[in-house]
Amino acid sequence: MSTARIYTGIAKVVGLTGYAINQTLRAATAVSRTVADRVNNVRRYRIELLVDGATLKTKDDQSTRDIVRTIENMDDYGITGVIIHEQD
């Protein structure tokens, strides 16, 4: 076996291990946020930011605090409207 193949194999193992750790942490974050939302009775929303009737950006998984912050800063970014949808 050549040295390059050994280093490539080691790099692949390290990369896949990092990917697995990342996905595990993402899943743990999602689960902990869901549990915290259920305990605190927090609802999540999807909001659409409008400029002159056209959707500029859509944000998912926004809490009430995030929506209030966005509405307070609407004028700073030229946003003319917001549509809020409750997520299930």
Q: What is the 3-state secondary structure (H, E, C) of the chain?
A: CCHHHHHHHHHHHHHHHHHHHHHHHHHHHHHHHHHHHHHHCCCCEEEEEEECCEEEEEEEEECHHHHHHHHHCHHHHCCCEEEEEECC
What integer pLDDT is reported at residue 1 of this predicted model?
A: 67
* Token pair belonging to 46: 């999807």
What integer pLDDT is reported at residue 10 of this predicted model?
A: 95
Residue 51 CB neighbour total at 10 angstroms = 13
What integer pLDDT is reported at residue 25 of this predicted model?
A: 97
State which amino acid sits at residue 62.
Answer: Q
User: pLDDT digit of tens for each residue in the chain (88 aa)?
Assistant: 688 899 999 999 999 999 999 999 999 999 998 888 788 878 889 999 999 888 889 999 898 889 999 889 888 888 888 999 998 7
Query: What is the rounded CA–CA span in Å between residue 53 and residue 44?
Result: 24
What integer pLDDT is reported at residue 32 of this predicted model?
A: 93
What integer pLDDT is reported at residue 34 of this predicted model?
A: 84
* Whole-structure pTM value: 0.56
What integer pLDDT is reported at residue 23 of this predicted model?
A: 97
Residue 44 CB neighbour total at 10 angstroms = 16
